[in-house]
Amino acid sequence: MKLRKLGNNLEVSALGLGCMGMTAVYGPASDKQEMIKLIRDAHDRGITLFDTAEAYGPFANEELVGEALQPIRERVVIATKFGFDIDQQTGARGAGTNSRPEHIKLVVENMLRRLRTDRIDLLYQHRVDPAVPIEDVAGAVKDLIAEGKVKHFGLSEAGVQTIRRAHAVQPVTAVQSEYSLFWRGPEAELLPVLEELGIGFVPFSPLGAGFLTGKIDENTQFDATDFRNYVPRFSPEARKANLALVEVVKAVAARKSATPAQVALAWLLAQKPWIVPIPGTTKLHRLEENLGAVTLDLTAMDLAEIAAEVSKVKVQGERLPEAVLKMTGL
């Protein structure tokens, strides 16, 4: 497995594993023992970065990841996220965000217990809290780092000015936001600022929530509990229009004897050496397919072709409406 560096000194596998979908969001939770085995199989195949959050469940995903990684804790990097208003006793969701310093510190104590560890390698603020200055958030995490309970600070879906302000208080190791050929918003402002500040980037939904695999079309039926039912970009009409994007990826995949998923992930890896995508899956054969992207070489000509063809496609539909964020904690 090739390695990449996030920030100044957090070394991880070139691909991580997003564990969110193992307990919900894309449909019913998968079998716990099967997911524990899959997480351990991922490590056996070279993955060292595992991504979770208190909001996934809530709590169920962290508990799963903690149990799965306990025997190999010293050989992996665990990333998790705080920031939603979640009752720490019952798991009941409040109305929005909560990044008050005293709440962060309480949440981290519970995270350590759920994750069966004495420290969190990478702790993200899941969503910016408009009621709490980011300097106070960064200060709280700085305290936790000083106590040895957290190793690195991250932000998720934060704007560039927020990132700058946080970074001035406590250096930010990584920012996590959606990025793929299906959503290229970070290219305009975010990526240049991360490069300037020396911050790593961890794209979630690097396969466009499955769309870039080529396995989804306008006739695909999602489970009733699947969040994609509520995303405008996944309406049947939008999917039909957006298939033009998938055709671009399929054409390159056919020429490279690869799969569309491998091309989509290899394209991300080719953008910057400090980008570490975290595709999620509940199936071993998909995990192995995704890992093939690490050794797939996209030439300058391949990348130029993708850029030219993708520029002709206007993706239809909104990305993640606020209602979906509140429902899933993505």
What are 303-320's pLDDT values in tens digits? 999 999 999 999 999 887
d(CA 162, CA 166): 6
d(CA 15, CA 17): 7
Mean per-residue pLDDT for 275-288? 98
Mean per-residue pLDDT for 124-138? 97
What pLDDT is attached to residue 323?
56
Give percent helix, percent strand, percent coil of the chain, each to the nearest 5: 45, 15, 35
Distances (CA, A) of 31 to 25, 283, 290, 291: 15, 11, 21, 23
- When the pLDDT of each residue in the chain is averaged and rounded to a whole number, the result is 96
What pLDDT is attached to residue 327?
57
Asked whether the predicted pLDDT for residue 325 surpasses 80, the reply is no
Tokens at 252, concatenated = 């390159």
Q: Are strands 77-82 and 120-125 parallel, antiparallel or unpaired?
A: parallel
d(CA 9, CA 117): 21
Binned at pLDDT 50, 70 and 90, residue 108 comes out as very high
Whether 14 contacts 45, CB under 8 Å: no
Whether 173 contacts 142, CB under 8 Å: no
What pLDDT is attached to residue 2?
98
With tokens 């509140």, the residue in question is 326
What pLDDT is attached to residue 319?
86
Mean per-residue pLDDT for 105-123? 98
> Amino acid identity of 132?
V
Asked whether the predicted pLDDT for residue 95 surpasses 90, the reply is no
Nearest residue to 68 via CA among 28, 22, 25? 22
Asked whether the predicted pLDDT for residue 174 surpasses 60, the reply is yes
Active site includes 124? Answer: no
Say if residue 101 is preceded by a cis peptide, omega within 30 of 0: no
DSSP 156: E
d(CA 224, CA 190): 34
- Beta-carbon contacts of 67 under 8 Å, excluding residues fewer than 6 positions away, are 36, 116
For residue 2, the SS3 value is: coil
Whether 282 contacts 39, CB under 8 Å: no
Q: What is the DSSP string of 194-224?
A: HHHHT-EEEEESTTTTTGGGT---TT----T
What architecture is the 3-328 domain classified under in CATH?
Alpha-Beta Barrel (3.20)
Handedness of CA 68, 74, 76, 77 (dihedral sign): positive
Distances (CA, A) of 44 to 34, 36, 52, 82, 284: 15, 13, 19, 28, 12
What pLDDT is attached to residue 213?
97
Q: What is the DSSP string of 63-124?
A: HHHHHHHGGGGGG-EEEEEE-EEE-TTT--EEEEE---HHHHHHHHHHHHHHTTSS-EEEEE
Mean per-residue pLDDT for 256-273? 98
Per the residue annotation, which of 56, 124, 179, 230 is the catalytic one?
A: 56
pLDDT in tens, 209-260: 999 999 999 999 999 999 999 899 999 999 999 999 999 999 999 999 999 9
